[in-house]
Chain A
Amino acid sequence: MLDEPLRQSGGYIGQSVPRREDRNLLLGKGQFVADIQLPGMLHVAFARSPLAHATIGTVDVDSALAINGVHFAASGSDVCAELPPINGMQVVTPQGWRDRVDTDILIPDQPLVPEDRVRYVGEAYAMVAADSRYIAEDALEQIEVEFEPLPPLPDAESALKDDAVLVHEQLGRNVAALLHTRKGDGADAMESCPHRLSRRFVHHRYAAMPMETRGVVAEYDGRTDTLTVWSSTQVVHWVRREISTALEMPEERIRCVAPDVGGGFGGKGHVYPEDILVAWLAKKLRRPIKWVEDRHEHILNAAHSRDNIYDVEIGFDDRGKIHVVTSSFIVDSGAYTPVGAGIAGNSIAHMLGPYDIPHYETDCKVVLTNRTPNAPYRGAGRPEVGFAMERAVDIVANHLDLDPAVVRFRNMIPPEAMPYDVGLTYRDGVPMVYDSGDYPEALRRALDALGGLEVIRKRQKDAWANGKYLGLGLGCYVEGTGVGPFEGATIKIDSTGKIMVATGACPQGQGHETVFAQFAADMWHVPIEDVYVTVADTADITLGYGTIASRSTVTASGAIKIASDKIQEKALTIAANMLEVGEADLEMRDAGVGVVGIPDMHVTWREIACAAKPGWDNQRPIGVDAGLEATSYYEPPTVTWAYAANAALVWIDTDTGKLEIEKYVEVHDAGVLVNPGLADGQVKGGLVQGLGGALLEELAYDEQGQLLTGSFADYLMPTASDVPPIEVLHMETPSPLNVFGVKGLGEGGAIAPPVVIANAVCDALRPFKAELNSTPVRWQDIAAITENADRQQNMRADQEA
C-alpha cells in the first residue's frame, strides 16, 4: 500500500504549481540579510589589500579606533591570535574516487584575516566595527599599513614557472592538487589512430555574480550561550560547523539561518572568513554585528570561477569516430581553493560527455596564484571541459569535411546502450554509469527546432553566396546531478494534522518551498496548503548539506520520502487500531487514512496525530511509541545523469565583428519534472548566464595581478535587451535511481553557451578556415579573423600580380 505509484494523476508532482515564495518577494517583504536590523547593532567593514602579493608589515589601527562611533578594530595578527584558519583539507574525497584517480592534494589553510601576507587584491588585512557602515568605512581610511610588495603571480602559467615565488611557502609548491586518471589504453591508444589533432582551449574567468552580494548578521545571547547567525549562504550547516570549530562552541548552540537569499549559483556555496568573523565578533563584543558586502568588494572578494587552460589531443578515424581523447589542463584556483579539487574532479568526469569513447587519459593541475579564490559557479568544471571537448568535436568534423552534427551522431551513446558504463569513477567514489536518456534524440530535436539540418545548411550556403555569414553552433553535455553524500528531512504531523517539512536544502530562488510541498502533498494525500516547508535553518534539522551542485530536488525528495514512509507506517498501524480493521485494508486518501472501498470509514491525519500523542486516552496499539515525527537522511546511491543538446544560429557581420544570435535552443532532460514551469525558468536563467559568460562577462587581470573589472561598469552583465530568442524543450526520461524518477537541473543551462557560440562563429566563418578556441568570444577576435583573411588574400593577389 505504501508503494503505490508516486506520480498520481491529479497529484501535484508534474504540475506548474505557483510559487508560495512569490507573494512576500513581490510586496517588498522578503527578508534578506541586509534587511535585518537589531538593537545595538554594529557594522563591520574590512580593509582590503590593494596589492596582489605583499608581505604585511605593521598594521596600526589606533587612529581608526580613535574615531567617534568606532568600537573595535583589529589587524590580522589580532585575529590570528584568537581564531584558527579555515582548514584547507576539509573537503574530503571518498576512497572509491582516490582508488581510481591518482591524487596529490595539498590545499592551503585560509587565515580569516592574514597576519603576514596578502595573496590577492581584495584580501582583508584588518577590520573595524562601528555604529554605522559609514563610520566603519571612515575608520578604514585611518588604518596605517606597511606592505612589502612580493612578485605577483597574475596567472597559472607564471605560477608554474620553476623560479616562481610561492603563494603558500609551507606547501613548497604552487600546486594545490595534481589529478590523473585514464580509461582503456589512455594516451597509448593515440598511436593507432589514423588522424590526430591537438589544440589549446582557454576558458576565461567570470563569476556567479548574484544580484544580492554576500552578507552576515550575528547575535549572541549570553544567558543561553547561543549564537544566531544569518548568512546569505547556500550551505547553512557548513557555515555552522566552521563557526563551531573556530569558536569551540557545540554546533547545537549555534543556529545558522539563510533567510531570503538573492541568488547564489555556487558563489555562496562554501564558508567564507566573514561568516566566522562576524559570529566571533558578536560573541566577543556581546552586540549584534552586521556585515554586508558592497558590490566592489563582492567582485574582488567573493569567489570567481572558470579560468582553465586545456591542452587536448584527439584521435579519430576517417568517419569521424573518436577513439581517444587526452587532456592536460590547469585550473587557476587563485590564492586559496575553498572547495579543494572539486571543480577539476568534475571536469575529469565530464569530458567524454554523451559520447562513446573507449580511451581517455587526463591530468590536471590546480594552481595557486595571486588571483581571487576560485570556487564552483553554475556548471562547476563542466562549462570549461565542455568548451574544450565540444570545440574539439567541431574541429574533427572540419578536418574531415563532415558536418559537426553528423560527427556527434556517430559518436553518441545510443539509447539502447543505457544504462551505460563510462569506465570512470565519479567524485562520490562510485563507478560512473549514465542512468537513462536518449542523447541523439535530444540533438535531433534541437536541430529540428532550428528548421532541421538540411534547411540550416541550405540557408548557410545561400548566405555565403550573398556575402553573409550564418553559423550553426552545437554543444552537447551530460551532467552528474543530485550528488551525495546526503540530504536530511524532518517531517512532523502536528496536532492540527498539518504536515511540517524541514530539509537541509538552502534555496536562493529555486522555489524549493513550493517544490518540496508538492512532493509532500502527494506523499501525504493532502491539499498543498496543508504542507508547511522550512528550509535553510539549522534549528529545524540537525544535519544538512545544502543547495549546491544541482542536488536538492533529488536528494531532499529522497529524504522527505524516507521520513514520510517511516511515519506513515506507524500512522497506518494507529489508524487500523482506530478503525478496528487490518492494516492491509487501509489506504491513504483525502488527508488521512481510509478503508479501501468504504468511503465513510476514514480518519484524518489530524485525528491520527491526536491518537498518536503521548498521554492518557491515546489510541496507539500496545508497543507503538508516541508521536508522528521522523528525521531521515537520504544517501543517494550515486548521481543521476541529466543531459542536453544545444544549438544556435548566429549571424556574423564580418565588417564589424558583430554577432547576432538568431535563435538559441536547448533540449534538456532532467528526468521527471516536478514543477515544469520552475524547471524551465532554471534552465533559461542558466542559459542567459552562460551567454553572459560567453560574450560579456570577464574578470580581467593585468600582469600585476590587479583586477581590471571591479564594478558593474566594467563587468558587464546581460540585460533584457542582450538576450536572444531562446527556446527550451524538455524531455523527461525518468531516472531509475530514485522513486520519483527525478534528476537535478539547476546548473545545466549555463554549461553549453560558451562553446555553442564559439562553434557557431567558427561554423559561420568556415570559408575563412577560422578557429576560435578561447572565451569570451570578442568582436575584436571575430573581426581579426576576417581581416587576416582579407590581408592574406590581398597578399596572394599581390604575389600573383
Chain B
Amino acid sequence: MVTVNGEQISGSAEPRTLLTDFLRDELRLTGTHVGCEHGVCGACTVIIDGFATRSCLMFAVQADGSEIQTIEGLASAEGEMHPLQKLFAKHRALQCGFCTPGMLMTAIDLVQSSKKLSEEDIRIGMSAALCRCTGYEGIVNAVSEYAEQLQDEEASNVG
C-alpha cells in the first residue's frame, strides 16, 4: 500500500521491480523519467515522505507504506500549475523538458528544507539533477525566485 499524489494505491510488484518502473509502467505515471538508472542524473526524482528521492535506486516494495509525490501531483487537480512550474516557464528553465520533472521535484525539496538560499546554495542543491539543454541559468533563476516568493509569504504571515 502506498499513497501516490494523495491517492491510496495497493498493488503488487516483483521484488526486483524498481520504483521508477512501478510508477511508470504499472501506475502509468510517466512524468517521472529515467535518465541513467544508476542514481546520478536525478531525472527519476520523486518526493517520498517529504524528501526528494531517486526512484531508480529503490525497489517498489521498499516504498510500501510511504507517501509519494510525483510530477503529476504538483499542479492542482484543475490543472493550475504550481508556482514553481510557472516560474520554470517564465525563466525558460526547460528546453527538451526531459529533466524537468526531476528538476522540479528536486527544487521543491530544496526550497522547502532550507530557510534562506543563496545562489550558490541553489546551484549546489540543484546539482543533484542533470540538465543537458539549458546550461542551468533559467533553472537557477526560477528556483531563486520561488525561494524568494516563499520567504516573502512567510514574512507577511509573521508580520
A interface list, Cβ under 8 A from B: 18-19, 21-32, 34-35, 37, 134, 209-213, 260-263, 265, 294-296, 508-511, 677-678, 680-682, 684-689, 711-713, 717, 719-723, 726
Closest to B28 in A: A37
**Contact-size category for B:** 35 or more
Select one of A509, A511, A682, A720 contacting B122, CB under 8 A: A720
Select one of A25, A686, A711, A726 contacting B36, CB under 8 A: A711
A688 near B92 (CB under 8 angstroms)? no
Residue B68 is within 8 A (CB to CB) of chain A in the complex: no
Tell me the smallest distance from the CB of A622 to a CB of chain B, in Å. 51
Closest to A209 in B: B132
Residue B43 is within 8 A (CB to CB) of chain A in the complex: yes
Most buried by B among A19, A24, A28, A34: A28
A720 near B132 (CB under 8 angstroms)? no
B24 near A18 (CB under 8 angstroms)? no
Select one of A21, A29, A212 contacting B98, CB under 8 A: A212
A294 near B72 (CB under 8 angstroms)? no
Bound together, the chains give a CA A713 to CA B101 distance in angstroms of 22
Bound together, the chains give a CA A87 to CA B83 distance in angstroms of 51
A684 near B96 (CB under 8 angstroms)? no
* Known contacts A26-B97, A30-B31, A262-B98, then 4 further A-B pairs from the complex at CB < 8 Å, ordered by chain A residue: A209-B132, A210-B96, A213-B35, A263-B98
Complex A-B, nearest 7 residue pairs according to Cβ-Cβ distance, in ascending order: A28-B31, A25-B97, A262-B98, A509-B96, A28-B71, A509-B95, A688-B135
Give chain B interface residues in 125-154, CB to chain A under 8 Å: 126-127, 130-140
Residue B60 is within 8 A (CB to CB) of chain A in the complex: no
Residue B85 is within 8 A (CB to CB) of chain A in the complex: yes
Residue B124 is within 8 A (CB to CB) of chain A in the complex: yes
User: Residue-by-residue, is B1-25 near A (CB-CB < 8 Å gives 1, otherwise 0)?
Assistant: 0000000000000101100000011
Tell me the smallest distance from the CB of B121 to a CB of chain A, in Å. 10
Closest to B101 in A: A28
Give chain B interface residues in 79-93, CB to chain A under 8 Å: 79, 81, 85, 88-89, 92
Bound together, the chains give a CA A555 to CA B139 distance in angstroms of 30
B126 near A720 (CB under 8 angstroms)? yes
A29: B residues at CB distance < 8 A: 31, 72
B38: A residues at CB distance < 8 A: 295-296, 711-713
22 A-B pairs with C-beta separation under 8 A? A26-B89, A27-B31, A27-B85, A28-B30, A28-B70, A34-B34, A37-B28, A210-B98, A211-B96, A211-B133, A213-B35, A262-B33, A262-B99, A510-B95, A680-B92, A685-B135, A711-B40, A712-B41, A720-B127, A721-B123, A723-B137, A726-B137
Tell me the smallest distance from the CB of B87 to a CB of chain A, in Å. 10
A260 near B135 (CB under 8 angstroms)? no
Tell me the smallest distance from the CB of A522 to a CB of chain B, in Å. 21
A26: B residues at CB distance < 8 A: 81, 85, 88-89, 94, 97, 100, 104
A31: B residues at CB distance < 8 A: 30
A726: B residues at CB distance < 8 A: 135, 137
Give chain B interface residues in 53-85, CB to chain A under 8 Å: 70-72, 74-75, 79, 81, 85
Tell me the smallest distance from the CB of B115 to a CB of chain A, in Å. 20
Q: Contacts A28-B101, A212-B33 hold; do A685 and B133 have CB atoms under 8 A apart?
A: yes
Bound together, the chains give a CA A548 to CA B79 distance in angstroms of 35
A211 near B35 (CB under 8 angstroms)? yes
Residue B109 is within 8 A (CB to CB) of chain A in the complex: no
A508 near B94 (CB under 8 angstroms)? no
Closest to A29 in B: B31
A712: B residues at CB distance < 8 A: 36, 38, 40-41, 130
Q: Contacts A22-B97, A262-B97, A712-B40 hold; do A720 and B123 have CB atoms under 8 A apart?
A: yes
A720: B residues at CB distance < 8 A: 122-124, 126-127, 131, 136, 139-140
B133: A residues at CB distance < 8 A: 211, 263, 509, 681, 685
A509: B residues at CB distance < 8 A: 94-98, 133
A681 near B134 (CB under 8 angstroms)? yes
Bound together, the chains give a CA A682 to CA B32 distance in angstroms of 25
B40: A residues at CB distance < 8 A: 711-713
Closest to A292 in B: B34
B130: A residues at CB distance < 8 A: 211, 712, 717, 719
Closest to B100 in A: A25
B70 near A18 (CB under 8 angstroms)? no
Tell me the smallest distance from the CB of B33 to a CB of chain A, in Å. 7
Bound together, the chains give a CA A797 to CA B115 distance in angstroms of 56
Most buried by B among A508, A510, A688: A688
